[in-house]
Chains A and B, each alone.
Chain A
Amino acid sequence: EIVLTQSPDTLSLSPGERVTLSCRASQTVSSTYLGWYQQKPGQAPRLLIYGTSSRATGIPDRFSGSGSGTDFTLTISRLEPEDFAVYYCQQYGSSPMYTFGQGTKLEIK
Chain B
Amino acid sequence: DGGITQSPKYLFRKEGQNVTLSCEQNLNHDAMYWYRQDPGQGLRLIYYSQIVNDFQKGDIAEGYSVSREKKESFPLTVTSAQKNPTAFYLCASSIPGQAYEQYFGPGTRLTVT
Q: Do A and B come from one complex?
A: no
Partner-B contacts on A (CB < 8 A):
none
Partner-A contacts on B (CB < 8 A):
none
